[in-house]
């Protein structure tokens, strides 16, 4: 019993790294299971530390998550972790910049399609303000909100004009949320994510 408990705690950092890598990609457990050829239940047990991982399973998960397994001397661990954090931060910032630019282009296209919509004009304007501050866009929840906005704008552009009013609420919510986020970001240095959330329900 004691050996099983110590094994589980020994795997915690590894299983948490797998979970964080999955979340960073915006994947559900089901998404990862399809790519790693495992069931969603297996992914859940792995992330909860309920199974003793086989090396072959770990290699498959790492491959699916664009990770590489390395044996690192303990004496070099601090330097390696610092280098990984720095690379992740640069990668996150590049991803955020690309996402913000894509969102701005979508909002401008939607604005041309519906010039009477003040909420869409507000989104485009706020996104222009936010692009220079891409480094502040970190964390899976914030990125998930932006991805949801991207989906809503893409959907808006594909809806027939007559049906757009029935899908207006997520766009209005996004305009308010973005404006509040921008105001918080401009007035509070290194602000944490505000307690606003986009709602993709009508």
* Top-confidence residue, 143 or 102: 102
Cβ distance 180 to 145 under 8 Å? no
pLDDT for residue 122 is more than 90: yes
Cβ distance 162 to 110 under 8 Å? no
Residue 190 backbone phi and psi in degrees, to 5: 55, 40
Question: Computed from CA positions of residues 118, 124, 128, 134, in that sequence, does the dihedral angle turn out positive or negative?
Answer: positive
Residues 44-86 have pLDDT tens digits of: 998 888 888 888 888 899 899 888 877 778 787 778 777 767 7
Residues 6+ apart with CB under 8 A from 16: 47
Tokens of 87: 């690379």
Q: Which CATH number fits domain 2-64: 3.50.50.60, 3.40.50.2300, 3.40.50.200, 1.10.260.40?
A: 1.10.260.40
Residues 142-198 have pLDDT tens digits of: 778 888 889 989 998 998 888 888 778 889 999 999 999 888 887 765 444 444 444
Share of the chain above pLDDT 90, in %: 21
Alpha-helix residue ranges (DSSP H) falling in 55-76:
55-64
Q: How many CA atoms lie within 13 A of 104 on its CB side?
A: 15
pLDDT for residue 131 is more than 80: yes
The 8 Å CB, 24+ separation contacts for 43-51 are: 46/15, 46/18, 47/15, 47/16, 47/18, 47/19, 47/22, 48/15, 49/8, 49/9, 49/11, 49/12, 49/15, 50/8
pLDDT-derived band at 133, boundaries 50, 70, 90: confident
- Cα separation of 88 and 96, whole Å? 12
Cβ distance 20 to 32 under 8 Å? no
Helix (H) or strand (E) holding 24: helix 2-24
- Cα separation of 120 and 72, whole Å? 50
Domain boundaries, the chain: 2-64, 90-187
Tokens of 141: 């929840």
């Amino acid at each position: 019993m004691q050996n099983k408990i110590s094994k589980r705690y020994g795997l915690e950092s590894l299983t948490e790294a797998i979970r964080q890598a999955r979340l960073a990609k915006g994947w559900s457990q089901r998404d990862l299971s399809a790519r790693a050829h495992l069931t969603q239940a297996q992914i859940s047990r792995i992330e909860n530390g309920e199974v003793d991982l086989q090396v072959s399973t770990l290699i498959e998960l790492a491959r699916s998550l664009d990770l590489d397994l390395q044996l690192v001397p303990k004496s070099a661990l601090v330097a390696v972790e610092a280098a990984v954090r720095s690379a992740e931060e640069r990668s996150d910032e590049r991803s955020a910049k690309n996402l913000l630019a894509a969102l701005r282009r979508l909002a401008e296209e939607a604005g041309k399609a519906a010039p009477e919509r003040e909420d869409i004009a507000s989104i485009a304007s706020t996104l222009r303000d936010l692009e220079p501050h891409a480094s502040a866009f970190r964390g899976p929840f914030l990125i998930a909100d932006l991805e949801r906005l991207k989906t809503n704008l893409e959907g808006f552009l594909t809806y027939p004009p007559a049906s757009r009013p029935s899908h207006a609420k997520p766009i209005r919510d996004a305009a308010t949320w973005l404006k509040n986020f921008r105001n918080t970001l401009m007035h509070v240095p290194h602000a944490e994510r505000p307690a606003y959330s986009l709602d993709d329900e009508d």
